[in-house]
Structure 1
């Protein structure tokens, strides 16, 4: 089938927002409308997701997918958007900040007197007295009157005893007393009810503290020292002799890593680390030097593929190693400390499949980003933060957008190489699942997003469902079933209404659904920022409540504070904005100047207040969320951040993001909230699984592939190749078991590789290309065992 066309229906509902119009239908004013199930037949604007839904213009790659989140129905002439990505920032005392109570993970230090004290936490002491003084008074009775000499003698003796105690007690607590070590078979258990006592490592003439709360000193990986700022009762924990210890807690209200995170009860408050391990033109603003340096290169750097091409050609300027320099500097350990101190307990980390391998002429830098994901695991563990690993880019591209690695056509489950690209993708999902299901990592990487924003309408909901079920089976085979055995499997709605996914996978063990609601890419409105403050409540809140009850865990994997598309290169390198009427593909009416939304240094108190209110209402409406994104770097031209509504950190530093995300509770005045808990099988309840009838109905592989035809006539790989397992980190301490990268030794099917003698096209070929002649293929050989990859040094 020719690129740029398909047979999918138009007007796919996707949690669209109300059109902002006046009484005559002109854009500009907000009129709330009653919430319906995903706004079907409600008159709300909905985006288009078909290749022919939005007219394309010259300069756009042939067959390129239309922009996501563009409500084409709003204007007669809609334009092409090369994709947005996502972005954001952060910054953060108490009476017991440096006491043993603050350092005692068994109780869980708290400094919020208004918080409930679940997880066995210790409440604050009375206002007038310190806990140490109270405890001491309870132990030591008041002395009776004695003679002066006797008192003096006893005082000297007591002083000597106290001096000895002052030396002996800390030595006992921090050096001699053994602490609970998380071993490979039982330590890191998410079901542990309490953490082991904090301790320290001992070196000649030196004692190093391995845990601490607000105000404690932390030595970072790079050797520098910071003061930990966490006003929410969180404490860090890292012992180089016990690097897989999961004692750390992000906040008093978040379970420590060695405690069970009760999904549906404990709230996910997270941010994305966008633009770090997967770059995109929006990262042009996140890390300007990456793309800005090559904005005039030939070909122009518009995605990670072309960026890598430009870097490889620029050997004098540092070559492809510049990308690793970005990995080293853009996100560091200090960011994780700040994220915990901001009251957040999760990070969503996008990675590309090239973290595992590349093939043939693929331009991406292979394997390197995995080393930095291992660092992320280490840092997250240290600060009690959990990770949602998001597989953001797959072979052939799952959506044609630049954040999938290569802007252009959709070659995943679409076109002549669509099937082999899915075979590769399932292998990569398997390799990741085997690694993160190991006991050393499963309590930190607790959610696995198996594909980011797949263009479901392109390859059909039935085929997407089959892919989801096969990926789910692979992940459960790697980690097992039941709570704590492998990660939650997160599926994206594929740009179908969430209600369409209810009961597709009945009794699935820990499966969640992800949506990415944005305000910025619907109709542009000249209405004031204040008019948007309650929009998330009226548009999303009820839908989330319904989905939590009907499907299960529902997350918003991306959202921002942007109410329009203002921002340097937010739409693409060199593109303008719809809001100012300068977006080059298509014609858009000018709504106003972007300056009031981008000149954050001059935001007045009212602007900051409305942004904060919007943040609170969005957090409350979405319930379990990941803001896009944590941090954005300044533009090389202006020297300042040009997309402030996308930066959590910048908002914290300048007063328009809430310093305590708990303040969002009740912001929407929810009258019919989801009533926890989730159904038992949604949280890993034993004895339940997807019925065989469903598994058979959605068996893999599908019979046909969109834009290509019957799978039996298409190129296919054979599962006879060696498995490139992901390497584990190394540590300075001896006898540390970091795992071998493969949790289930019985999972030994080979990797999918080309069949000798068969003809294959480029994995990134235009989907309209005719497939090669069918190949009978070679007989399957005995699959080899996984090849363990040597670990990188951290």
Structure 2
């Protein structure tokens, strides 16, 4: 607080002021009085003051009455008439008054508390009595400056926000817009009322407010179905005018013959049909397939897998595939995308809408589709990518016939849905069952089922080529089988690493075999006199070992190191299978990051890949397995491009099997 003035000083100053006042009254007693508002006329006494002098006098009188404190309001103050004095008196009085006031010091506390409204214009610790107007002007000036600064800050903030919004819109194709929580923004739900979704559909796959990601989906609720499958999420229009690259026709234009213009494609494995070697981060201890994974996840299975569906593949994936010179995409999916059965732990129908969105993204970038049912009711091969590792329950065992019919029912619904006009141009290959293990199944049962499935989908309007698996029977053994079915195409998967004899080929032999052996097999299969006829190669890779973690099933070991065992003594490998056939065979080296690859090894990997492309184009084309993995470079087209072991454009290769491959003598044969 400000210090209090002493009572003694107050009385002394007051007595002195009173004596001075009485002296002035005696000297000016003969001067006539006038009203405080009355102007001085030109006829007044010779001692009349100018207007400026009168104003100064009034100010001095007022200061004397108030003692430099706030002026008392009119209604509580006794009116006094101002005295008229000459200018000399005014000047002298002002000088004395200024000298007396100058001795008053403003305390720091008074200034800090803002209580010196009348004590502005501080100079060297003293206050000038004439600074009140300047202070008010300064106060207004600072207030104006403050307002201007606030306005500038608001303008800058608004500009930054608008810029970020525009930047987010321009990057929409490359990444899903996300909120601070890391989840997609789902801004297309803005303005949509949750009440538009019936109570019976709340929280189901038809409720867009329950979806993890709504990007590029139509979020207007509908219960409409085609083939008893929901169209929810589909936009009503589509555009088939895009071509993947300048070497192939737009989707709206017929492809022509695949025998003369083979497909160049890639799989999207591990997206809807999970495999531990593709996405090991999803699999915890004790989980070996999607059955055990969803069982372990329990109530968290839906949220976990939907996030995977929404993020593992994006629109940018299809952009990158097209930019790599590819023109087709094979999309594996499993039966639980459309139906589940009692006892199934699988996540029901969530992947369905992501499959449909993926097809639309492919369309947008000119890529044609190969639909691939990778998991069939009961499992068609007992391998983990079918959904459940173990026994084959499709066309085999006590529920074999039941699961065979369930698989036909699945195709009844799928074929009705995909025979809609919007899919006529883009779906060019329609698969029936991936890799049925005909070496363990009754051949006639598989052939009968394949014939029934073909007839069914054609009846329901599928005009695309219908694909069936070779069943690992050997290409020569398909001569004369399943004849008379127009557009039926044999699907062959070629790998050297899953064959105990071929995995031991050295690097030069692997390239030579890809050029000669697989070219010969392709030609045999394509000729109806020696094989089935139309043949595609829908899976292959450039891996030269089976060392990728979990590739042979979780914990199964490898043929390369000689510790492969899946519980079947007939298939177990107990000796190293690498070219040196000894303990030097190393999966540690084989699984090293691509940054450690030598120039010679990179040359081999690219030549091996391009040799296979060349051979498979003797048939109806090829689909690399797969586009994306979390770590296995030699199984990922995406990682292979980044590592420099694949051609930048699939249609512009450096090696086409001539001349013969070099001997690669500088590359160790142990990895």
Q: Which residue of 589, 596, 604 corresponds with 1:602? A: 596
Question: 2 CA distance for matches of 1:568 and 1:467?
Answer: 35
1:276 paired with 2:266, answer: no
1:632 paired with 2:617, answer: no
Q: Which residue of 562, 586, 592 corresponds with 2:585? A: 592
User: Given that residues 532 and 614 in structure 1 are in contact (C-alpha distance below 8 angstroms), is that contact kept between their aligned partners in structure 2?
Assistant: yes
User: RCO higher in 1 or 2 (8 Å CA, sep ≥ 6)?
Assistant: 1
Please name the residue that 1:102 is paired with: none
Please name the residue that 2:356 is paired with: 374
User: Given that residues 346 and 386 in structure 1 are in contact (C-alpha distance below 8 angstroms), is that contact kept between their aligned partners in structure 2?
Assistant: yes
Distance change (3 Å), C-alpha of 1:528 and 1:502: closer
TM-score, normalization: structure 1? 0.50
Structure 2's unaligned 5+ residue stretches are: 1-165, 179-216, 219-233, 567-571, 577-582, 661-671
Superposed, 1:321-720 pairs within 5 Å as 321-479=303-461, 486-523=463-500, 528-550=506-528, 551-584=532-565, 586=572, 587-589=574-576, 590=583, 592-599=585-592, 600-623=594-617, 624-633=621-630, 641=631, 643-664=632-653, 667-669=656-658
User: Given that residues 647 and 654 in structure 2 are in contact (C-alpha distance below 8 angstroms), is that contact kept between their aligned partners in structure 1?
Assistant: no
Please name the residue that 1:784 is paired with: none
Q: Any idea what the Cα deviations from partners look like across 1:100-148, whole Å, max 9, x if unmatched?
A: xxxxxxxxxxxxxxxxxxxxxxxxxxxxxxxxxxxxxxxxxxxxxxxxx
Question: 2 CA distance for matches of 1:307 and 1:566?
Answer: 23
- 1:556 to partner: Cα distance: 0.9
- 1:532 to partner: Cα distance: 1.6
Distance change (3 Å), C-alpha of 1:368 and 1:396: same
Q: Any idea what the Cα deviations from partners look like across 1:287-316, whole Å, max 9, x if unmatched?
A: 23210xx21xxxx2111001000010xx5x
Structure 1's unaligned 5+ residue stretches are: 1-207, 209-215, 225-237, 480-484, 634-640, 672-794
- 1:595 to partner: Cα distance: 3.4
- 1:670 to partner: Cα distance: 11
Report the 3-state secondary structure (helix = DSSP H, G, I; strand = E; otherwise coil) of the residue aligned with 2:329.
strand
User: Given that residues 475 and 524 in structure 2 are in contact (C-alpha distance below 8 angstroms), is that contact kept between their aligned partners in structure 1?
Assistant: no
User: Given that residues 436 and 486 in structure 1 are in contact (C-alpha distance below 8 angstroms), is that contact kept between their aligned partners in structure 2?
Assistant: no
1:287 paired with 2:313, answer: no
User: Given that residues 332 and 374 in structure 2 are in contact (C-alpha distance below 8 angstroms), is that contact kept between their aligned partners in structure 1?
Assistant: yes
- 1:266 to partner: Cα distance: 1.6
Q: Any idea what the Cα deviations from partners look like across 1:393-423, whole Å, max 9, x if unmatched?
A: 1111111111111111111111221111111
Distance change (3 Å), C-alpha of 1:311 and 1:217: closer
Report the 3-state secondary structure (helix = DSSP H, G, I; strand = E; otherwise coil) of the residue aligned with 1:612.
helix
- 1:344 to partner: Cα distance: 0.5
User: Given that residues 175 and 316 in structure 2 are in contact (C-alpha distance below 8 angstroms), is that contact kept between their aligned partners in structure 1?
Assistant: no
User: Given that residues 267 and 330 in structure 2 are in contact (C-alpha distance below 8 angstroms), is that contact kept between their aligned partners in structure 1?
Assistant: yes
- RMSD of the TM alignment (CA)? 2.6
Q: Any idea what the Cα deviations from partners look like across 1:228-282, whole Å, max 9, x if unmatched?
A: xxxxxxxxxx999984110011011111100111221221101110000011222
User: Given that residues 333 and 379 in structure 1 are in contact (C-alpha distance below 8 angstroms), is that contact kept between their aligned partners in structure 2?
Assistant: yes
1:251 paired with 2:233, answer: no
TM-score, normalization: structure 2? 0.59
Report the 3-state secondary structure (helix = DSSP H, G, I; strand = E; otherwise coil) of the residue aligned with 2:498.
coil
Question: 1 CA distance for matches of 2:323 and 2:454?
Answer: 34
User: Given that residues 541 and 624 in structure 2 are in contact (C-alpha distance below 8 angstroms), is that contact kept between their aligned partners in structure 1?
Assistant: yes
Report the 3-state secondary structure (helix = DSSP H, G, I; strand = E; otherwise coil) of the residue aligned with 1:663.
coil
Report the 3-state secondary structure (helix = DSSP H, G, I; strand = E; otherwise coil) of the residue aligned with 1:458.
coil
- 1:475 to partner: Cα distance: 0.8
The structure carrying a bigger helix percent of its residues is 2
Please name the residue that 1:260 is paired with: 254
- 1:223 to partner: Cα distance: 5.0
- 1:446 to partner: Cα distance: 1.6
- 1:648 to partner: Cα distance: 0.8
Distance change (3 Å), C-alpha of 1:592 and 1:476: same
Question: 1 CA distance for matches of 2:488 and 2:533?
Answer: 7
Question: 1 CA distance for matches of 2:235 and 2:393?
Answer: 46
Q: Any idea what the Cα deviations from partners look like across 1:366-397, whole Å, max 9, x if unmatched?
A: 11111110111110100000111101111111
For these two proteins, the number of residue pairs brought into alignment is 419
Which one has a bigger Cα radius of gyration? Answer: 2
Superposed, 1:151-162 pairs within 5 Å as none
User: Given that residues 240 and 251 in structure 2 are in contact (C-alpha distance below 8 angstroms), is that contact kept between their aligned partners in structure 1?
Assistant: yes
Report the 3-state secondary structure (helix = DSSP H, G, I; strand = E; otherwise coil) of the residue aligned with 1:399.
coil
Question: 2 CA distance for matches of 1:328 and 1:409?
Answer: 31
Q: Any idea what the Cα deviations from partners look like across 1:466-523, whole Å, max 9, x if unmatched?
A: 11110110011011xxxxx522100111121223223323331211000111011122
Distance change (3 Å), C-alpha of 1:267 and 1:419: same
